[in-house]
Structure 1
């Protein structure tokens, strides 16, 4: 279970409407979510990701040690380079995910979803043994999200030089990676710019400089990017969420959970698959994470769960969901929208949804022919 979301002061509180769930610590929007999303897409606004947590791993063995105990290769990568990584259980389940930046030859900075740092730190401390590393919570840092480094997006604001910038060429398959499905249409990517918190919190922020977390989530969903705080549950294996594309290096040495990764990659296929849903917006009923997905109407069989939802400026209402592998790619689905509680029972309505494949079953190209370990 994740720790409570740590409290942060929004960069701009005027008209701010705070988010929910893991994003309760920052504004969902500032009164005009779709306009804010346009500014984010136009490269004229940033998103306050001050609730993201940071952990620094420093020491002579930092990069080699992290390569050994995670799914990613950090040894020999250039200073300033970015990657995504995960820690798996012995059974290959996803336990932790992070974005990683190589700060210098002896240090890696990890950016994590809110509430995720304590669990990862506990695991790393257990695995330290004789490794020459030190772990430091970096609550003195703050993250801004955008489609380019924040100083390029807001040159007029006078942002200081960042400590680090995380970026990866999504959806390009990373070295050692394997794609389990098609690339998203018109991907926009994501850039995390990391600053000393005190240096940016006192700047004269204006509402036009900022887009809310709802905008960030809309672009993430449209880009088909799984998020630890939303898409990962106790059953998740990397293949189901297309994490082998950038987060799991399939040709590196041994790591915990590698046997499951190899077996499913080379001999089997994942039991579930990530999809993007295009939701019927005609009823103006917003879906929410946790809603059931049924096959062929409200009386049909439950085949999955909604994990993330958003209103996209161009695509309308969209969602990410995890469904059973056997659900036909062209099947019409129904998504549950809870409407409140009456007489001790929760009432729901159902809206129609169509699929945009992210992870494909093997018969549709979901098992890469060239994969090897």
Structure 2
């Protein structure tokens, strides 16, 4: 569904049919505002799912990587759904208001996540709904009025069972709003970052009501790169396991929780081995005007070392990219890479 935000002056889409603006005419300035005094971003293309029923958290706890049975009302977190072999299939951000668990995920993954949840419902008394037509997500920066996230440290290998508290690995503090939506502080851009769920009919008026300038998706995505925050399906592939993306492991996986699909792989890699690849941020030399495409090869000498995910021009650091690289290559800080003709380093 096309956002009313696209009617704003200067709104530009990256591809025909996109639902949110790529930028509003000055993407570097939009980044600077988002990282500095604050700005608001339309993320209305995200899919919004709800899970209701008294057993919703226990049920989601049994299916996902996150410890959810102790998630309090007014709090959020993240979760992953893994394949039987431990590969990342779905990712969602979470908020529970005491009656409903809200899940927001990438537009391309909404049908997949909903379908999986529907198939796994069996006789559990929960209801799953796609409410994207009625609700929209916006994200803004520059507001630290909510308590910052509460993160558990990632434990060392072969830690003793029972040493991690039985609670989500990250707790995002938030609150329900009078409109029926919520606010949730995630700091996912490495600065005070707040997601707000609002009725879709009210979404386009958020900038005026908040007094914040608008920034496009370009600014938001480029600021994810130095924070090494991946988008599943863009910065990951069908072979990605949680340990390959440190932010996913830290925020969406409780390492002392068992009995979910793919848990054996998570435990084995954490206790006995190292992941075959690592998600890292790269600085490119800027010799190419345009950022590399998603999926572009990263070469170390004559050999392919990995692939590029999100890439773009940072307002301070120049051309940057997220890349999923072979671990033995990524661990060497002196390696110089070639990315579509540009030289790159960690």
Fold conserved between structures, TM > 0.5: yes
1:101 has 2:119 as partner: no
The CA deviation at 1:145 is 1.1
Any gaps of 5 or more consecutive residues in structure 2? 147-176
1:84 pairs, out of 66, 73, 78, with 78
Equivalent residue, structure 1, for 2:317 = 315
1:193 has 2:196 as partner: yes
Equivalent residue, structure 2, for 1:38 = 32
CA contact (8 A) 1:230 1:308 kept: yes
Equivalent residue, structure 1, for 2:262 = 257
The CA deviation at 1:147 is 2.2
- Residues in 1 aligned to 2:21 and 2:122: alpha-carbon distance in whole angstroms: 41
1:17 has 2:9 as partner: no
- Residues in 2 aligned to 1:200 and 1:168: alpha-carbon distance in whole angstroms: 20
- Residues in 2 aligned to 1:44 and 1:264: alpha-carbon distance in whole angstroms: 39
1:215 has 2:219 as partner: yes
CA contact (8 A) 2:50 2:128 kept: yes
- Residues in 1 aligned to 2:339 and 2:207: alpha-carbon distance in whole angstroms: 43
Q: Deviations over 1:152-194 (max 9, x none)?
A: 9xxxxxx9756112333559xxxxxxxxxxxxxxx32532111
3-state SS in 2 of match to 1:222: coil
CA contact (8 A) 2:183 2:197 kept: yes
1:225 has 2:216 as partner: no
3-state SS in 2 of match to 1:319: strand
Equivalent residue, structure 2, for 1:241 = 245
- The TM-score normalised by the length of structure 2 is 0.83
Equivalent residue, structure 2, for 1:343 = none
3-state SS in 1 of match to 2:97: strand
CA contact (8 A) 1:101 1:108 kept: yes
CA contact (8 A) 2:6 2:12 kept: no
Structure 1 325/17 Cα, relative in aligned 2: closer, same or farther at 3 Å? Answer: same
2:344 pairs, out of 353, 358, 368, with 353
Structure 1 60/149 Cα, relative in aligned 2: closer, same or farther at 3 Å? Answer: farther
Structure 1 232/7 Cα, relative in aligned 2: closer, same or farther at 3 Å? Answer: farther
Equivalent residue, structure 2, for 1:164 = 182
The CA deviation at 1:262 is 0.6
- Residues in 2 aligned to 1:115 and 1:7: alpha-carbon distance in whole angstroms: 15
The CA deviation at 1:14 is 2.0
Q: CA RMSD in A?
A: 2.5
Structure 1 286/98 Cα, relative in aligned 2: closer, same or farther at 3 Å? Answer: same
Structure 1 143/203 Cα, relative in aligned 2: closer, same or farther at 3 Å? Answer: closer
Equivalent residue, structure 1, for 2:296 = 291
CA contact (8 A) 1:69 1:255 kept: yes
Give the total of aligned pairs.
Answer: 311
- Residues in 2 aligned to 1:160 and 1:102: alpha-carbon distance in whole angstroms: 15
1:127 has 2:120 as partner: yes
- Residues in 1 aligned to 2:101 and 2:200: alpha-carbon distance in whole angstroms: 19
The CA deviation at 1:8 is 3.6
Any gaps of 5 or more consecutive residues in structure 1? 1-5, 153-158, 172-186, 337-349, 356-373
